[in-house]
Structure 1
Amino acid sequence: MKIAVLGWGSLIWDRDTLKIVDEEWNEDGPELPIEFARMSGGGRLTLVIKPNWKPVRVLYSTSAFEILESAIENLRNREGTSTERIGFYNFQNGDKNIKETNLSVFENILAWNKMKDFDAIIWTDLPPNFRDKLKLEYTLENISKQFVEMSSLEFSSAKEYIEKAPKQIQTEYRSEIEKIVLREQANRG
């Protein structure tokens, strides 16, 4: 079984335990609505699928595993999450794990795979949580407030993630978030 692993965030620059066969990530993945909309460990504002937002072309690689369950476990282990948070579609038998909120973006994955012909596709399917975690609306103003309130360690971690995010992942908010980071860095001296 040939399995694609989709990526758009830290998987790209830090494979850690993820086993893939391609030396470099392929830049012609499907278009998905990705945004910096999840507050993760260390204060990082990370990239996740955010339905109904601007689609961007994500990256992909081929898993070193030929058994879908093994590829899912490998990605789950790398991400330090539960199996339920690994999205997948098995083109051979129709098995899938796709959040209801992400069903609309699944059509892009299907259309993309018609050109690539993978037997299965897997991805990290963490939800946006900015509003739930911080009890704030997801706006640039509130993102800016978050950066101001971060400790030095959190700010450093958040800044690193944003700087290392693949340049092709030009989300709706990315350029404004980069400006927020530069402004906050200047304010911190």
Structure 2
Amino acid sequence: MNIACLAWGSLLWKPGPLKLASGWHPDGPHLPLEFARDSDDSAELAIVLCEGVPAVPTYWAYLDAPDLDAARAMLQAREKVREDRPEWIGSIPAVGGADESPAIAAWMKARRIDAVVWTAVPPKFAGVEGRMPTQEEAVAFLDGLTGTTREEAAFYLRRTPAHIDTRYRRAVEARLGWRPLREAHVTAMC
């Protein structure tokens, strides 16, 4: 069974316990992504799936996993998703009655991939799950950070590959000058 993982943020350069069986490929499905999650364990605004925003390119890699359950468990461990939030790990085939993404299903069918997993945590802002910040709130949040916290948030946004070009990213670049790092690259193999 060939199983792939989709990625668009720090998973690309910091896969942690995720066992990759290939490098990251830049031709994943186009998905609606934005920097819209006030991270639980750091100060950045993580890039997450968001309803109603323009779709942007994603990356994908084959996983070294014997089955879908193992792939989901690896991604759950890497993303520190709680056991009571299984819907925060998306997959096709879907589990637990979750809806399948038509864009992802069409993409994987075209590549003859048997199964795929991805991080499906929702936006979160000001401590409210499911709340997407406005563009102004996102920029103000990042602009209000100081010291090491600001540096880490800037690194996260700047390290995200340049072709993952979102509206909020362009606003942050214009206001804060946080442009993509020239040396930014994804982890080829881990």
Whether these two folds match at TM > 0.5 is: yes
Corresponding residue of 1:170:
165
Superposed CA offset, 1:53-87 (max 9, x none): 10011100001012111111111111111351211
CA displacement at 1:98 relative to structure 2: 7.4
- Superposition misfits of 4+ residues, deviation over 6 angstroms: none
Instruction: For 1:137 and 1:49, locate their aligned partners in 2 and report how far apart those are by CA, in whole Å.
Output: 10
More helix by share: 1
CA contact (8 A) 2:139 2:171 kept: no
Per-residue deviation, 1:99: 5.7
TM-score, length-scaled by structure 2 = 0.82
Deviations 1:7-57, CA, capped at 9 Å, x for gaps: 0000001112110111x2111111100100101022111100001110011
Deviations 1:118-137 (A, max 9, x none): 11110011101126549x87
Q: How does 1:17-36 map to 2 (within 5 A)?
A: 17-22=17-22, 24-36=23-35
The aligned residue for residue 130 of structure 1 is 125
Residues 91-112 of structure 1 show CA distances to partners (whole Å, capped at 9, x for unaligned) of xxxx435766xx6xx1111111
Deviation at 1:149, TM superposition (A): 2.5
Matches within 5 A, 1:73-152: 73-83=73-83, 84=86, 85-90=88-93, 95-96=94-95, 106-130=101-125, 132-133=127-128, 138-152=133-147
1:88 aligned partner, one-letter code: S
SS at match of 1:96: coil
Greater Rg over alpha carbons, structure: 1
Aligned counterparts of 1:87 and 1:65: Cα–Cα separation in 2? 16
Cα distance in 2, alignment partners of residues 180 and 99 from structure 1: 38
**Which runs of 5 or more structure 1 residues have no equivalent in the other structure?**
184-189
Aligned to 1:64: 64
Cα distance, 1:97–1:58 mapped onto 2, change above 3 Å: farther
Q: Residue type matched to 1:69 in 2?
A: D
SS in 1 for 2:118: strand
